[in-house]
Amino acid sequence: MKVILKEEIQKLGQPGDVVNVADGFARNYLFPQKKALPATEQNIKNIEHHKKVLLKKASERKVSVEELAQKLSQFNCTIQKKAGKNNKLFGSVTSQDIYQELQKNGFSSIDRRTISLPEPIKTVGDFQVSIKLHPEVTTTLTVTVKALS
């Protein structure tokens, strides 16, 4: 089924793109979430106007995301966990833990899925975590893991 994307969908396309997707994906996810429109002749004609509006919104969003990236790069996220011998943690620090700490500190606009943690943190120390805020904006967050006393 051909659909017109209304917003960026990872690994699928950008707003305004006409893409071919499975019928079930379109009916069960894209249409109910209002992320796409059926690719009818009328919708294809209207897409030019939508592209202009979406490009303007995307540029405004990019500016605000760049400001957020600047704040995040200066923020030091500190997480305390129980640790044993040799500074090894009981359990680990995951992207969910980092997300919750960011929520507590006023970064509520960050989505948990944008935090890129290749593997859970299992030791005490400082770590650099990548956060992809926008397709063109990625920032690095310093995460300090301390032993809980």
Question: Quick check: is 54 in a domain?
Answer: yes
Distance from C-alpha of 82 to C-alpha of 15, rounded to nearest angstrom: 45
pLDDT band at 59 (very low <50, low <70, confident <90, very high): confident
pLDDT band at 11 (very low <50, low <70, confident <90, very high): confident
Do 11 and 57 lie in a common domain?
yes
Q: Which residues span the domain enclosing 79?
A: 75-147
Is 69 among the domain residues? no
Query: How many folded domains does the chain comprise?
Result: 2
- Given this model, what pLDDT does residue 128 score? 92
The pLDDT tens digits for 96-138 are 999 999 999 888 888 888 899 989 999 999 999 999 988 888 8
Residue in this structure with the two tokens 């990236």, named with its chain if needed: 69
